[in-house]
Amino acid sequence: MSKILLRSIQLEGKSCFHIFDKQNSPMENANKFLRAVELRGLSKHTIRAYGYDLVVFYRWLEVFGKSFADLYLADLFEFIGEQRKINIQASSINRRLITIRIFYNFCFDREMPRGKGVNDPAAHYRGQGWDRQLGVIRIQRPRRLKLHLKTTRKIVESLKPIEVNKFLKKVERYRDLAIYLFMLYCGLRSCEVLCLKLNSINWDDSLVRIFGKGQKERMMPLPNQLQDILKKYIQFERPELENQKSLFLVLDKPNRGQPMTPEGLRSLFRHRRRLSKITQANPHRLRHTFGLEMAKSRVRLPVLQKMMGHANPETTLRYINLSMVDVAEEFERAIKEIQKRYDKK
């Protein structure tokens, strides 16, 4: 049986995402919406996320016999219930609720009517209008609270030094080691690694130019060890192709010389996890390890935010909060000094 699908197609010489119904016909409103998102300059990853959220939503409408035009906000509680049944995380459900809301507004130029039985989230009191942790951000009171699920604050999980050493032990290819070190020493996301070009590296100033989420550009210092590995990769392993500007290429046939893909990168990590027995190692875990180690080394919050490419300082603050496991050690050291002063007679 055919399903509503999201596909990447070639249109006017470039790839874009389109949604097709069960009869393999383009869904006009949904595709216009994705086109509008694309014209705003958002990344392909964001457009794909919007598209996939709409596919999930349309499939739910079909199964439960709902009409999008006649939908009420109260009906979305059924959608939430179905998502919870298949163990979708609260943060993902919230993202899909936001997608549904802005898509409805896009199609009908109005907010979705509430209907009976809507249980609004309660307002959360946060003091005199200032963020108690950062102390610099004015808290704006929302005009109307949106339907959303309560989410738990996730702990940033990193690798221990012994796990990192075991994971990197006996990596045979310079390319693979360079990829791992970009995440571990520079905090790059997997998509940022794959987007690196040959001209992204400034060898004279030991810098790398990174294009992050939303094509936001940042510069990071390039450690000497990583520079040496990169030079060996380019000299001994990387295929010499004048028309291929991507830094990291496939080394094996039949796709030798083609840019590495997300699937190829996932395969690379699966192979390394199998050999090293470090089953929890993945690209984001290496990035988390970088952020946590920088926080433990007392890198200031604005600097760490810039390094990580975070738009929101509260995202960076998770690394600072996690590093508070060192508070006990610091307290013990300080209290001993204080007690010495008081013990003097």
Query: Residue 65 is part of a domain; what is its CATH number?
Result: 1.10.150
Instruction: Name the pTM for this structure.
Output: 0.71
174 and 70 part of one domain: no
Helix and strand totals (H; E) in the chain:
13, 5
Q: Does 270 map to a domain?
A: yes
Predicted confidence (pLDDT) per residue in 247-276, tens digit: 999 999 899 999 999 999 999 999 999 999
pLDDT band of residue 79 (cuts 50, 70, 90) is very high
Same domain, 181 and 280: yes
Higher pLDDT, 24 or 10: 24
What type of residue is 294? M
Span 166-180, average pLDDT: 96
| Position 17 pLDDT exceeds 70 | yes
User: Cα 10 to the chain's mean position, in Å?
Assistant: 26
Domain boundary among 73, 88, 108: 108
Task: Pull the structure tokens for residue 303.
Answer: 């600097």
pLDDT of residue 42: 82
Same domain, yes or no: 102 and 168: no
Query: Does 310 map to a domain?
Result: no
Q: Does 118 have pLDDT greater than 90?
A: no
Please check whether residues 93 and 25 belong to one and the same domain: yes
Question: If pLDDT is split at 50, 70 and 90, which confidence band does 215 have?
Answer: confident
**44-63 vs 90-108: helix crossing angle, rounded to 10:** 80
Q: Look up tokens 């600097």; give the residue.
A: 303
Domain, as residue range, for 182: 161-285
Contact present, 19 and 34 (Cβ < 8 Å): yes
> What is the per-residue pLDDT across 290-304, written as a single tens digit (0 to 9) for each?
998 998 888 888 999
How many domains is the chain partitioned into structurally? 2
- Residue 105, pLDDT score: 95
Residue 77 in this model has a pLDDT that exceeds 70: yes
Q: Please report whether residue 324 resides in a domain.
A: no
Alpha-carbon gap, residue 183 to 168, rounded angstroms: 12
Say if 69 falls within a structural domain.
yes
Residue 250's identity, in one-letter code, is V
Q: Which of 44, 73, 108 corresponds to the end of one domain? A: 108
